[in-house]
Amino acid sequence: EKMTGPVLATEDDPRITKVGKVLRATRLDELPQLFNVLKGDMSFVGPRPERPYFVEQFEKQYPSYKYRHNVKAGITGLAQVFGKYTTDVDDKLRLDLIYITNYSLWLDIKIILLTLKTIFIKEASSGVKREMELEELLKSLNYNVYSELGITKIDK
């Protein structure tokens, strides 16, 4: 990054060591952020924090990106349990906005349980590409899902 500037992570990121690949595959690379949760800087569930360089770029490209700042950043969220490291910004943002719009303690509990599943079952997080797939995934969590003014809503 010294020569290129900040770069988003990719599936075969050359910056990741062999040990890093194992930590990433099991999602254990996120454990150090528990200290941030204990300090109160982060929440356990919420949109993932992003580096300021990318926040600035994403806010220019995606006007609704600013709404991610309405809640504390988290270690895990819908974008982490239904996506992968390589899930594109559009899909991650859509999942983050669905979380923010439908925040509840019950949704947090479900996300935590799904996070544990993705840690122990590698295939549990296969990514989301289409709205229909996303709605089917949310329905699998026993949520009634509907779209209103382009925003996916969840009936608890």
Terminal CA-CA length for the chain: 44
Distance CA 49, CA 68 (A): 9
Q: Where are the domains of the chain?
A: 18-127
Tell me which H or E stretch contains 43: strand 43-45
pLDDT digits 0-9 by tens, 43-73: 999 998 888 888 888 889 988 888 898 999 9
pLDDT digits 0-9 by tens, 117-154: 877 776 655 555 445 466 666 666 666 655 554 555 55
Q: Which pTM does this prediction carry? A: 0.69
